[in-house]
Amino acid sequence: SCPGKIEAEGFTGESMKLLHLIFLLALTTGISAVLIYIIGVSNLYESNRLSNGDLEALQSLQSGFKKCVSANGLGLQAATGRDYCKVSINFPKDTVPKWKDPKSGELEGLSYEFDLCEAVATWEQVRNSSTILTKEYIDALPNGWEDYAWRRINKGIQLNRCQNKSLCIEKLSLVLPETAPYFPRQFERCAVIGNSGDLLKTKFGKEIDTYDAVLRENGAPIQNYKEYVGEKSTFRLLNRGSAKALDKVVELDEKKQEVLLVKTTIHDIMNKMIREVPIKNPVYLMLGASFGSAAKGTGLKALEFALSTCDSVDMYGFTVDPGYKEWTRYFSESRQGHTPLHGRAYYQMMECLGEILLAFWF
């Protein structure tokens, strides 16, 4: 309906069926759903515990998924992987990868393997949970303060596992609500805005401002770019570097109402700024969920928060166009970014599982 936007096929029905199947398996085999994706669903059906009907459901999930990728992926194609849960998403052969792994010095690959079963199970859990760190959460962990809380404080190791609990509470107090400030599906339609230079190719601004909540990242500016990125801003997700410049970040939203979500740890410098600048915006720490090695960046964390708080999530500015030469930002010179192709493939998987909608320029 909106120009420049690709509708994902109605796939949620299929992935819900699969989810149901995964939970059913968890029940009948007497292990928790969490264990399922550690040991892998594949092991279960290799031992013949899946009926033909179940196998058909998995097969149909996969074939629908492949169709969705080729219809919506701007040249991406999905291929069957080693088992029914696994697929690979492949870029066109003439794609020229530009991003080099700083450790190995190797260029990013053109083919990525994903586990659909694992993704469905993990993300459905995210959709039903709070992703903000709360006091309630720490208290409910077996040794929440001794084993976990200090990890969320910069140089927490020096706190001797929160031996002095009141000191730990004090350090976390400005960013630690008693209970979850947001609940699943609190907002109906949300937009997550990435920082890709592709955003300058379409004036999505007005469209973005129609969402119930808009989530931005790090130092992404609004002023001077409103016609492209809109001006509504509900949440802003911050990595370590941005969080250290909290005083600068709050300037980006003229209304000063953004909720700031910090991906890493609380820092004495941040506490001081919140108290003394003072910073009136709510500031929270994100819980850390693990998604394995795939696409670890701020974008995925933003998606995690959005899916835990919103009914539907559309993503803008996460694209790597088919003629991809270099990852650019809409507000600065070319930057290295990190793993742009891997990230793009991951978001394509998410779209074709019916979890999100990707907005593209044409």
Asked if 234 and 210 count as a contact pair (C-beta separation under 8 A), the reply is: no
Please report, in angstroms and rounded to a whole number, the separation of the first and last CA atoms in the chain. 15
Q: Binder to ligand NAG among 29, 63, 160, 164 (CB under 6 A)? A: 164
Least separation in angstroms between residue 263's CB and ligand NAG is 24
Stretch that binds ligand NAG, among 164-172, 206-214, 310-318, 342-350 (CB under 6 A): 164-172
Task: Identify the DSSP state of 144.
Answer: I
Nearest partner of 42 among 90, 88, 99, 87, judged by Cα: 87
φ, ψ (nearest 5 deg) of residue 150: -65, -25
Least separation in angstroms between residue 189's CB and ligand NAG is 21
Least separation in angstroms between residue 128's CB and ligand NAG is 4
Least separation in angstroms between residue 140's CB and ligand NAG is 12
Least separation in angstroms between residue 36's CB and ligand NAG is 13
Q: Binder to ligand NAG among 47, 52, 158, 166 (CB under 6 A)? A: 166
Stretch that binds ligand NAG, among 108-116, 160-168, 249-257, 353-361 (CB under 6 A): 160-168
Least separation in angstroms between residue 238's CB and ligand NAG is 26
- Give the Cα separation of 285 and 237 in Å (integer): 10
- Give the Cα separation of 107 and 99 in Å (integer): 6
φ, ψ (nearest 5 deg) of residue 311: -70, -50
Q: Binder to ligand NAG among 70, 167, 268, 334 (CB under 6 A)? A: 167
φ, ψ (nearest 5 deg) of residue 215: -115, 125
Stretch that binds ligand NAG, among 161-169, 236-244, 289-297, 352-360 (CB under 6 A): 161-169
Q: Is the peptide bond before 181 cis (omega within 30 degrees of 0)?
A: no
φ, ψ (nearest 5 deg) of residue 16: -65, -40
Q: Which is nearer to ligand NAG, 170 or 188 (CB)?
A: 170
Site string (127-156) toward ligand NAG, x via CB under 6 A: -x----------------------------
Q: Which is nearer to ligand NAG, 150 or 330 (CB)?
A: 150
β-pairing, 77-80 vs 86-90, is antiparallel
Does the footprint of ligand NAG cover residue 63 (CB under 6 A)? Answer: no
Under rule CB under 6 A, how many of the chain's residues touch ligand NAG?
5
Q: Which helix (H) or strand (E) holds 26?
A: helix 12-28
Q: Binder to ligand NAG among 7, 170, 254, 268 (CB under 6 A)? A: 170
Distances (CA, A) of 247 to 164, 226, 260: 30, 22, 11
β-pairing, 356-358 vs 213-217, is unpaired
Least separation in angstroms between residue 246's CB and ligand NAG is 22
* Angle CA 36–41–46, to nearest 5: 135
- Residues from 89 through 128 that contact ligand NAG (CB under 6 A): 128
Per CB under 6 A, residues contacting ligand NAG are: 128, 164, 166-167, 170
